[in-house]
Amino acid sequence: MKVALAQLNYTIGDFEGNSQKIVEAINKAKTSGADLVVFSELSVTGYYPHDLLEKKEFIHKAELAVNEIARYCTDIAAVVGAPRINIHDRGKNLYNSAFFLAEGKIQSVHNKTLLPTYDIFDEYRHFEPNSTFDVVHYKGEKIAITICEDLWDEQPTANEFGKDKLYNVSPMHELSRFNPDFVVNLSASPFSYNQEGWRKNVLISKARDYKMPILYCNQVGAQTELIFDGGSVFIDEAGEIVKELKYFEEDFMLIDTGNRGEKNVQGETGYIEKIHDALVLGIRDYFRKMEFKQATLGLSGGIDSAVTLVLAVRALGAENVRVLLLPSKYSSDHSVEDARILAENLGIRYDIVNIQTAVDAFEKELTPLFEGRSPDVTEENIQARARGVYMMAISNKFGNILLNTTNKSECAVGYGTLYGDMNGGLAVLGDVYKLDVYKLSRFMNKDREIIPENTIVKPPSAELRPDQKDSDSLPDYEDLDRMLFNYIELNKSPLEITALGFDEAVVRRVIRMVNMNEYKRFQAAPILRISSKAFGFGRKMPLVARY
């Protein structure tokens, strides 16, 4: 059978736009000679709609869209994803469903069995799990239709405190009783640089175990924090990847399940390049889908703002990015010059506004209140908040959305000022550890020097007091990032982290900083997720706890 995989970028709730994309792909598949075209999970609504699924009007529009799309399925069949009302007296109100469309109407509906409720997933909040299994008979073939997690009943665990078998049922085992000729899987699997190999391994394992070809169609594009990387595949019954669609962009491919043809897979790229591409896509889609156009940020001459700026320009274009250089009396001449050179290298508008007059005014008015107390972090934070005022003024006056530049290492330990440098509508680097920020800068400079070398090699500093260095209050980032990864991503205990060769007192101090600053992250901008455990709604921790 000739099957087309349509890997598309949807917008949540844009029924007209999503339906138009789907219909255009159906017509393209017809022209290409396809018998069947497969789309991704919840393609009609976009993934994930969250509590929009509790609105009757939203579900009604989804139903109308599916029926309208079905009208175009003449001389071809399609499988699209959408919510479906549960008509039974008991259970959740909806199913997460795949609709098999042919001959101009809905022929059958196949509900998702395994509903993930870990990390960023919360599907059992809205959906009832499937309990019945069947296959589709079409053009002499038997097709097993599955939805994303239905193939993930067994999966690797990131740490020892976890199970590799999360569910009591295996949809593939149940469907294999019908001896299907191949499996299609509608997926919305988000990108994670430290787990992206797992997905292929799971698919390969299922194909081998059941000796069954798998056609896997993943979503591409970003929905606020979540970034979907595409990479849809056709895997034969021996577990070999025969065809693979592009990453981080829309794609379409026609596959003949009876004639595999030449192997066509994507070239290997390093994880830093993937993170780069994911972040560019995340920024671009956040602005496009929110109907924002222009961005701004404070360019300090440091590595984080430099990398954020390059990503923003690549996502939005130089004409849509404007920055402020906001030096104080503690800013080095090198930092100001590095920031200016970077802005000119990128061809963007920049303005230099010295914040010292504003800082002096704040400090003068606060002097009577602070009488008898020595300067401390309070005065440092006044500088950060003064910068925040200037940045938000530009955002308000000109409609430029402020990008937050805080990296994951700083975000983890609370090394940022609320209502100051933590301001912003989107946190670009909030899931990127400091060492990887440096690696991103080197990747950006691989063809020519865009980010000044001095920005990359100088010791990191907030420049809020004389001769300040990050290392004054934090462990070296080589150690800090490793401790944080083991604690956040791998859920290891202080003793387990200490056993890796770290000083126990330092480990406990770092972990205490992580736990104590949950209240800051709770108020922070949404963070583009590129790892298996990003701050935000995928990591739910109490703000108040003795741990």
Q: Which residue has the tokens 């739910």?
A: 540
Closest CA to 86 of 130, 49, 117, 46: 130
199, two tokens: 């997905």
**DSSP code at position 523:** T
Q: Can you spell out the DSSP letters for 412-439?
A: HHT-S-TTTTT--SEESSTTS-HHHHHH
C-alpha–C-alpha distance, residues 457 and 53, integer Å: 49
* Catalytic member of 112, 206, 492, 533: 112
Q: Give the phi and the psi of residue 95 in degrees, each rounded to 5.
A: -115, 150
Q: Is 112 a catalytic residue?
A: yes
Q: Pick the catalytic residue: 21, 128, 148, 380?
A: 148
Q: Which two tokens stand for residue 460?
A: 């990191």
Which two structure tokens, joined as six digits, stand for 317?
Answer: 């274009």
Phi, psi of 25 (to 5 degrees): -70, -35
- CA neighbor of 323 nearest in space, from 286, 348, 303: 348
Please tell me the distance from the alpha carbon of residue 169 to that of residue 147, in angstroms, as a whole number. Answer: 14
CA 238 to CA 240: how far, in whole Å? 6
371 is catalytic: no
Q: Which of 32, 27, 108, 124 is nearest to 66 (CA)?
A: 108
Q: What are phi and psi of 135, to 5 degrees?
A: -120, 165
Nearest to 37 by CA among 48, 21, 49: 21
Question: How far is the CA of 269 from the CAs of 189, 272, 301, in angstroms?
Answer: 19, 8, 29
Closest alpha carbon to 357 in 397, 387, 398, 399: 387
Q: Give CA–CA dist 143/126, Å, rounded.
A: 27
Q: Tell me the C-alpha distance between 76 and 371, whole Å.
A: 79
Please name the helix (run of DSSP H) or strand (run of DSSP E) that holds residue 313, with its range, or none. helix 303-316
> Is 217 annotated as catalytic?
no
Interhelix angle 504-516/477-488, nearest 10 degrees: 60
Peptide bond into 477 cis (omega under 30): no
Which sequence positions are flagged as catalytic?
A: 41, 112, 148
